[in-house]
Amino acid sequence: MGQSYPAFRFSRARALIRGVRRWATAAGALALTGGLLAAGPQASAAGLTQVTGFGTNPGNLSMYTYAPDALPAGAPLVVALHGCTQSANDYYAHSGWPKFADTYGFALVLPQTSSANNANSCFNWFEPGDSGRGQGEALSIKQMVDKAVALYGGDTRRVYITGLSAGGAMTANMLAAYPDVFAGGAIGSGLPARCANSVSTAYTCMYSPPDKSPAQWGESVRSAAPAGTSSWPRVAIWQGTADTTVRPANATELRDQWTNVWGIGQTPSRTESLGGGTTLSVYDDASGRSAVEVYTVSGMGHGLAVDPGSGTEQCGSAGTYYLDTICSSYHTARFWGLDGDEDADSPHTDTGLDTGTTYSYAAAAVDTTAAAGSASPAVAATTTGFAPTCHTAGNYAHTAAGRAYQSGGYAYAKGSGEAMGLWNTFTSPTLRQTAPGHYVIVDAGCPN
């Protein structure tokens, strides 16, 4: 096996970038290498605008939009889905998303359902005819995206979707059905994609979600997506620990679902303590970039996390199902890179580094003549590295060693969920560990 060298990536190095911005104060246009300087706040528009004629609208939904004045072409687009008993205007007024549309420069689409569709004005996330690709409400939302992109000249590579409760469950289904449309999603007090297919199973999912394996949950997404899909949205999951309407176990199943879709394990790459009693668990993809994030809000009931106030990290207003804890819209916008730091999550790689070694990095702003300004304070980064290993053994032995798990008499590779055949001593596949807790089958032997 060839030697594997660690690589340091500027993953989520926002503290460094913010430091660099303090040095980028000279007159004239400045740009940080990699395009990391964010645009300033946009002028605020008047409010929500209803848009008609956005398509065949098989789901019988209404379309509302919000965009800052003078929104530039190529701006991102965020679709925000309200919860039961709510409306587009209610979500617009409380969620905090308009503040960040103004600050970071993107357009909002707020679909709205009604009691004509659902007695409680819920999106019908549990109805296959409304939540699958090319059908019902799901298709109406997709048509709204197409209309908004045409109206605002948006960047089709930066379309995102978020929602609360029934809107969060519909968000999960939209991410599964349209991974080619959405670059990321955020599921607030929601449920796994395709958890239910009727009213009765919807209540089961809400109060006692099925305890499926990550591979089974992941397959629910893969089977809903277009055949051959290999690129998946980045997903944030928000859940209160005191939620009695959508039980916190749903967040665990959501984590299992989307980490499996990404082919990564269920052990966090790192955890952080945020304000409002919130713990963030981050699950990186193979390149070291955050793919799935779980925000657990201690003591919060059923609702969307908001934090009223004028501070940079504050947003929204408290109300029914809008709970004063932490500004979820702010952290979600940053996760998606809408704050202008999306390149901080993009590859900036040093290769050939030694394991367990500390390196120092600094950045500088560059003006339009390529003249560099003063360098920022250095940031220290210590490599850990990971050398892939191969293991050939019977499925019993793989399972006993923690490289696989068994379900229904069959063995599956831990992390990837790949089927290994019958759980017995006669089947002896080769597994390659590509990351901590993540194994894939290499039938042709272990590559060098």
Alpha-carbon gap, residue 213 to 351, rounded angstroms: 35
Alpha-carbon gap, residue 246 to 303, rounded angstroms: 10
Q: Which of 11, 62, 165, 329 is catalytic?
A: 165
Burial class (CB in 10 A: 0-12, 13-18, 19+), 254: buried
Sole residue written with tokens 């916008």: 333
Alpha helix (H) residue ranges in 74-182: 88-94, 97-104, 128-131, 136-152, 166-177
For the four alpha carbons of 35, 261, 265 and 334, in that order, the dihedral sign comes to positive
Alpha-carbon gap, residue 67 to 160, rounded angstroms: 15
The reply to whether 140 belongs to the active site is no
Which neighbouring-strand residues pair with 164?
A: 188
Inter-CA distances, 398 with 216, 274, 405, 431, Å: 20, 38, 8, 9
- The beta strand positions in 241-377, using DSSP E, are 270-273, 278-284, 290-297, 304-306, 322-324, 349-350, 358-361, 364-367, 372-375
Inter-CA distances, 397 with 204, 427, 431, 436, Å: 36, 10, 12, 18
Alpha-carbon gap, residue 186 to 371, rounded angstroms: 39
Query: Which residues are designated catalytic?
Result: 165
